[in-house]
Structure 1
Amino acid sequence: MENWISLQAELGSFEHRRTVYTFALKMSFLAVILSGFIILITLPPLDLMGMLPITLGHAMVFAILLSWLIGGMVSGVLSLVAGFAIHDLTVSRAKFEKLSRTDTLSGLLNRRAFTDALEKVEGDACLAIFDVDRFKAINDRFGHGCGDAVITAVSAMLSAAFDGASVVARLGGEEFGVVVHGGTPAERVARIEGVRAQVAARPIPADGHEVTITISGGIADFHEGRDKEAVYASADKALYLAKALGRNRVVHEREGLNHAWHGLVENGLGVQGIGPNEVSLLQASGI
């Protein structure tokens, strides 16, 4: 990898064919300059020793012409061959890198790429983690082909709902992650809630069936200085609360945790790892 980066830095990027032609032209020009320099330092001594069959002036003219015709052409052809070889390698490497960061079923970013994107988040944004409700039951009842169709449809709806500034990924199984940029916190929550409602209202055709599904979501906010892993953990807990409260809903860490916990207590439910004291601490810390 270090050698490849060094080569790219010295010779430039070979991702586009135009760069290859520019590279070949530069190499041809350098070859002509080098051959001209060699001519200038070798012909005069040969002339002094009487080893030239023609005058020095004629010899230099012929030598320069040959350097342009032969040296320039040969170096140009060799540079084109080498340049296109590097170009193909660059394109193949870019495709491989894209495949290694893409989920094959949904076409979204995979968990690895999403984790990298999380580390680069700056400014006002929030993290939403979605999970398809009762996905195992869908697979068991309609088959895995139908389950794949559900994943594909949800992926398409998420991609369409969020603009290019947002990051949408399939984290694995029936779980998705979205980093939402732009707008106020309330506007971001409204967009996420709108996606949940859209999924619930749109039956998905799959293997001759019309499958109606719902999704649950947990939301956590990014703040300056806040650890990205803490944001993810908080959104994940909010998602579990949404599931425990009956699914088909979105829970925000700050605005919904206390309300959600009291709802669980009233219904005699609980979520592993979350207690009333922890909810109070989360609210006191402003997350």
Structure 2
Amino acid sequence: MRISLQAELGDFQDRHTIYVFARKMSFLAVTLSSVVILLILPPLDWMGVLPVPLADGVVYGVVLSWLIGGAVSSVLSVAGHAMHQLSVSRAEFEQLSRTDVLSGLLNRRAFTEALERADGDACLAIFDVDRFKAINDRFGHACGDAVIVAVSAILAAAFDGRSVAARLGGEEFGAIVVGGSQAQRIEKVQSVCARLAEKPIAADNCVVAITVSAGIAELGGGRGKAGAYSAADKTLYLAKALGRNRVVHENEGLHPGWRRHLPQDAAAARAMSADCDEARLA
């Protein structure tokens, strides 16, 4: 019989594993003790140094074996329970370190790690709640938090499975949309923005109608993740500059027809930039 004595810390996140492991080790201790006693007792009896009859010695040996097995099981159960608590605490800490507390989505750190692993048929979408600072100023931060929670719930439901969503900070969110064609990924982002715009959010004695702007950049194709993030951020800015409540893909951002919608003078450009910056810092 072969029983592995190797136990990894991750195996002890389940209490059942602890007791199974302890029973296995107890059985092994009983078996080894019994074998040792049965091998030692006959020679001792033959040499006349066994203080009791051989039959009684065998009985005492079996009892001793079970006592040893019980002791081993108890020690392993206590040690396993301690390892279980340590493992659970470690897993919870790791989960907290990767999760945004308010939204329940991945935080920026975890999203960056997911972005580094993403490749192939995928795109990066950055969302920003339009005029979020005005919501906080008018209705209060409790209502602003309710908006963040509501937006997060819709993003989490829309981007599950291979796709992931995260809160990047403030009212800015990110999503890695995996699978499908480029047109299908764009359509999915557009549908999420449309869903957010069509249903007002009720919280803290206020009802808030929101819109969301989004910028999309494709992943893969030999471009670095930093370049893709920068492209998505620029298209988000363009969506804001074009009047908000829209989705802009990086390919659309190159279209000459969009330029006439941008601020024509420096003062207007600075105002637009300040407005976007305030929204992101709200």
Instruction: With the length of structure 2 as denominator, give the TM-score of the two structures.
Output: 0.84
Cα distance, 1:10–1:56 mapped onto 2, change above 3 Å: farther
1:163 corresponding residue in structure 2: 160
Measure the CA separation in 2 of the matches of 1:8 and 1:36. 23
CA distance change for structure 1 residues 214 and 265 in 2, over 3 Å: closer, same or farther? closer
Residue matched to 1:30: 28
Q: Does 1:142 align with 2:126?
A: no
**In 2, Cα distance between the equivalents of 1:271 and 1:21?**
69
Structure 1 partner of 2:180: 183
Give the direction of change, closer, same or farther, for the CA distance of 1:11–1:101 in structure 2 (3 Å limit): closer
Counterpart amino acid of residue 140 in structure 2: G
Residues 199 and 215 in structure 1, CA contact (< 8 A), matched pair in contact too? yes
Shift of 1:74: 1.6
Matches within 5 A, 1:216-255: 216-255=213-252
Deviation of 1:49 after TM superposition, in Å, equals 5.0
Cα-Cα RMSD: 2.6
Is the contact between residue 245 and residue 263 of structure 1 (CA under 8 Å) also seen in structure 2? Answer: no
Query: Alpha-carbon deviation of 1:206?
Result: 2.6
Deviation at 1:146, TM superposition (A): 1.2
Contact 1:264 1:270 in 2 (8 A): no
Per the alignment, residue 90 of structure 2 pairs with: 93
Deviation at 1:107, TM superposition (A): 1.1
SS of equivalent residue, structure 1 residue 130: strand
Closer, same or farther: CA 259–36 of 1 in aligned 2, 3 Å: farther
* Pairing of 1:33-44 with structure 2 (within 5 A): 33-40=31-38, 42-43=40-41
CA distance in 2, matches of 1:131, 1:225: 27
Give the structure 1 partner of residue 200 of structure 2: 203
Helix, strand or coil: the match of 1:52?
coil
**8 Å contact kept, 1:170–1:176:** yes
Unaligned residue ranges in structure 1 (runs of 5+): 1-6, 273-287
Deviation at residue 265 of structure 1 after TM alignment: 5.4
* CA 1:249–1:265: 2 relative to 1, 3 Å: closer
* 108-117 or 155-164: bigger deviation: 155-164
Instruction: Provide the rounded CA distance (Å) in 2 between the counterparts of 1:15 and 1:244.
Output: 50
8 Å CA contact 2:107, 2:168 repeated in 1:
yes
Match of 1:4 in 2: none
Structure 2, unaligned runs of 5 or more: 270-282
Tell me: CA distance 1:75–1:178, structure 2 relative to 1, closer, same or farther (3 Å). same
Asked if 2 retains the 8 angstrom alpha-carbon contact of 1:200 and 1:214, the reply is yes
Would you say the 8 A contact 2:120–2:219 is kept in 1?
yes
Q: Distance in 2 between matches of 1:260 and 1:237?
A: 17
TM-score of the superposition, structure 1-length normalised? 0.83
Superimposed CA distance per residue, residues 95-148 of structure 1 (whole angstroms, 9 cap, x where no aligned partner): 221111111111111111111111111331111000111111111111111111
Partners of 1:8 and 1:107 in 2: CA distance: 36
Query: Is contact 2:10-2:87 (8 Å) kept?
Result: no
